[in-house]
C-alpha cells in the first residue's frame, strides 16, 4: 500500500538495508540489545541476505526490561493495555520518536481515508486522551484524532453511551461521509446495540477499529459477524480494522475495504513463523506473528516476535501488493518469559 | 480585527497562553499546551473561527504561529 513497493519482493529488498542499518543503530545505542545480539550469534558485521534472517526480540522483553536507544530527553512513556502492572510494556519516546509515530500513523490512515479530515465520532470517553494519554489506548485515540475533525466522544466518563452526543453528531454529519473510530470491543459492546436499537443509518460511515479481539472472542463474535451485524442493522459497509502494538507505535497494519486481510505499510512487514522450527510458515499455515518495522529508533522494537497467532492468506494477490494476513488470537499458553536465560536460543532468531 | 490578532486569540484560548508571549515564540512541542492533543484542538478551533477546512497533511505540518497564519492566507483568508 501507500503506492510504493509494487511487489513483496520489492518491499523486502527495500526494507532489508533499512533494517540492517537499524540493527547497527540500536547495537550502538542500546548496550543491552548489543549484548543480546552477541549472545545469539548476531555480532557486528554479520551479513543478511533476507529479512527472515534478522534477529528478533520477543515482545515480552519490553514488559520486563527498559530497552532504550535514545540518550535524549524522554517526552512520554507509553504503556500497553495489559491488565496488571507487571504485564505492561513501557516504551520510552523522545520527541522525534513521538512525532515520527504521529506522522506514520497519520500517513497510513490517509491512504485509506484520503487527505480530508472527516467528522469523527469516537467510541470512547474524553478521559482517554486526557487522563490516560500515556496508555496505548489514549495515544491511539489521539493519533486517529489527527485524521478527524469536529470530534465527538460517544462515551461518558462511566463508559456508557452519551446518547445526546451521538444523536447530535449523526444529525449534523450523518448525511455525508464521516468517520467512526473505536476499540473493537467497545464498538461492539457499547455502540452496536445502541445503534441498532435507535435504527441509526450509518451508510455514510467509515468504521475504523482496532484491538480488542480477545474480548470479542470472549463474546463469541467473529469478524464476519461483526461486519454482518453492522451492515444489517445500520447499513454500515466500510470497515477498516487495524493491527498494531505499543512496541511498534505508529506502525499499523490496516485491513482493506474488502476485508481480505491486513496489509503492511511500506516501511514494515510481517513474517509468520512455525513455532516448532521458527522457519517462515507457508501461505495458509498458522503460526506466530513476527513484525518488522523501520520506524523504531528510540528503542529496539524494529523486529519483534509477538504473542499473537496469525496466518498469511496470500502474497501480491489482493487489493494491495504484499502479504495479506489475519490475526487469529493470542498464543494459547504463556509465551517465552522474555529473560535471556529462560528462552530457547532460537526464539531470539538465531539460526543454527 | 486582523488575521494575526484573531488567530492569536484562538491560540490564547485553546492553549491558555500568557498574552505577553510573543507570536514568534509559539512553537509546537515547545509552547506549554501545544502538544499532540493541543495541536488537534487548535486545528479544530482555527477551522471554527475562520470557517476553513484544513487537510490532514497541512494540519500535521502546522508547527509555528507564523506557519498557521500563512496556512490561513493560503486557504484564502484575508487579513
Nearest to B44 by CA among B57, B32, B58, B54: B54
State residue A82's pLDDT score.
52
And the C-alpha cell for A324?
495479506
Residue A202 pLDDT grade (very low, low, confident, very high; cuts 50, 70, 90): very high
Which triple of cell numbers denotes residue A79? Answer: 504503556
Q: Which of A93, A146, A173 to mutate to test the interface with B (most CBs of B within 10 A)?
A: A146
pLDDT of residue A86: 58
- How many whole angstroms separate alpha carbon A216 and alpha carbon A35? 40
SS3 of residue A152 by DSSP = strand
User: What pLDDT is recorded for position B52?
Assistant: 96
Question: Contact at 8 Å (CB) between A243 and A251?
Answer: no
How near does any CA of chain A get to the CA of B59, in Å?
A: 8
Counting DSSP H helices and E strands in chain A, the numbers are 11, 14
pLDDT band at A318 (very low <50, low <70, confident <90, very high): very high
**What is the grid cell recorded at A266?**
511500506
Distance CA(A91)–CA(A61), nearest Å, equals 11
What residue in B sits closest to A130 (Cα-Cα)?
B37
The single-letter DSSP state of residue A175 is T
Rounded CA gap, A23 and A293, in Å? 11
CA distance B20 to chain A (A): 26
- Residues of B with CB below 8 A from A151's CB? 40, 44
CA distance A135 to A113: 25
Q: What pLDDT does B47 receive?
A: 95
pLDDT for the residue numbered A78: 80
**Pairs of residues, one from chain A and one from chain B, whose beta carbons lie less than 8 Å apart:** 45
Contact A58, A304 (CB under 8 A): yes
Contact A110 B29 (CB under 8 A): no
Q: Inter-chain contact A149–B44, Cβ cutoff 8 Å?
A: yes
Residue of A131, A135, A149 for testing the chain B interface, max B β-carbons within 10 Å: A149
Bridge partners of residue A90, in order along the sequence:
A79
Averaged pLDDT, A314-333 = 91
H/E element, A99: helix A95-113
Q: Measured between CB atoms, does A96 come within 8 Å of chain B? A: no
Residue B36 has its nearest CB partner, among A102, A115, A147, at A102
User: Chain A, 133-172: which have a CB under 8 Å from a chain B CB?
Assistant: 133, 142, 145-147, 149-151
520518536: which residue's cell?
A: A97
CB contact under 8 A, A149 and B36: no
Percent over 90 (pLDDT), chain A: 68
Q: Grid cell 540500536 — which residue?
A: A26
**C-alpha span between A139 and A98 (Å, rounded):** 10
Can you point out the beta strands (E) in A158-277?
Answer: 178-183, 205-210, 238-243, 253-255, 262-263, 268-273
Please tell me which of the candidates A99, A146, A151 has its beta carbon nearest to residue B56. Answer: A146
| pLDDT for A200 beyond 50 | yes
Tell me the mean pLDDT in the region A69-78. 77
In this prediction, the answer to ipTM > 0.90 reads yes
Q: Does the pLDDT of residue A2 top 70, yes or no?
A: no
Amino acid at each position: 500500500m501507500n503506492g510504493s513497493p509494487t511487489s513483496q519482493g520489492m518491499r523486502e529488498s527495500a526494507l532489508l538495508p533499512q533494517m540492517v542499518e537499524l540493527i547497527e543503530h540500536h547495537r550502538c545505542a542500546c548496550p543491552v540489545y548489543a549484548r543480546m545480539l552477541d549472545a545469539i550469534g548476531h555480532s557486528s558485521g554479520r551479513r543478511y541476505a533476507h529479512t527472515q534472517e534478522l534477529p528478533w526480540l520477543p515482545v515480552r522483553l519490553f514488559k520486563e526490561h527498559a530497552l532504550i536507544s535514545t540518550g535524549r530527553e524522554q517526552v512520554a512513556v507509553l504503556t500497553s493495555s495489559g491488565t496488571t502492572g507487571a504485564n505492561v510494556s513501557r516504551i520510552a519516546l523522545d520527541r522525534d520518536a513521538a512525532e515520527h509515530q504521529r506522522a506514520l500513523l497519520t500517513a497510513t490512515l490517509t491512504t485509506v481515508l484520503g487527505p480530508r479530515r472527516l467528522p469523527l465520532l469516537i467510541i470512547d470517553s474524553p478521559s482517554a486522551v486526557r487522563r490516560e494519554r500515556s496508555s496505548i489506548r489514549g495515544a491511539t485515540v489521539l493519533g486517529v484524532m489527527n485524521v478527524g475533525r469536529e470530534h465527538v466522544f460517544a462515551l461518558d466518563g462511566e463508559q456508557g453511551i452519551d446518547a445526546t452526543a451521538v444523536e447530535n453528531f449523526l444529525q449534523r454529519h450523518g448525511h455525508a461521509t464521516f468517520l467512526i473510530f473505536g476499540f473493537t470491543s467497545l464498538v461492539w459492546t457499547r455502540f452496536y446495540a445502541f445503534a441498532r436499537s435507535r435504527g441509526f443509518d450509518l451508510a455514510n460511515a467509515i468504521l475504523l477499529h482496532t484491538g480488542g479481539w480477545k474480548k470479542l472472542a470472549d463474546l463469541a463474535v467473529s469478524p464476519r459477524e461483526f461486519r454482518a451485524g453492522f451492515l444489517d442493522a445500520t447499513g454500515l459497509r466500510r470497515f477498516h480494522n487495524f493491527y498494531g502494538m505499543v512496541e511498534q507505535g505508529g506502525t499499523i497494519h490496516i485491513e482493506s475495504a474488502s476485508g481480505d486481510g491486513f496489509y503492511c505499510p511500506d516501511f514494515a512487514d510481517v513474517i509468520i513463523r512455525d513455532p516448532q522450527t521458527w522457519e517462515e510458515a507457508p501461505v495458509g499455515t498458522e503460526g506466530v506473528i513476527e513484525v518488522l518495522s523501520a520506524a523504531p529508533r528510540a528503542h529496539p522494537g524494529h523486529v519483534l516476535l509477538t504473542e499473537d497467532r496469525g496466518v498469511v492468506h496470500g502474497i501480491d494477490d489482493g487489493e494491495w501488493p504484499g502479504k495479506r494476513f489475519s490475526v487469529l488470537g493470542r498464543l494459547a499458553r504463556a509465551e517465552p518469559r522474555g529473560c535471556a536465560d529462560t528462552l530457547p536460543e532460537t526464539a531470539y532468531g538465531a539460526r543454527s | 480585527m486582523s488575521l494575526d490578532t484573531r488567530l492569536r486569540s484562538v491560540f490564547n484560548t485553546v492553549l491558555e497562553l500568557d498574552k505577553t508571549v510573543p507570536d514568534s515564540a509559539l512553537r509546537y512541542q515547545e509552547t506549554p499546551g501545544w502538544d499532540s492533543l493541543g495541536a488537534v484542538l487548535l486545528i479544530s478551533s482555527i477551522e471554527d473561527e475562520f470557517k476553513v477546512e484544513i487537510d490532514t497533511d497541512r494540519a500535521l505540518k502546522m508547527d509555528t504561529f507564523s506557519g498557521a497564519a500563512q496556512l490561513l492566507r493560503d486557504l484564502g483568508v484575508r487579513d
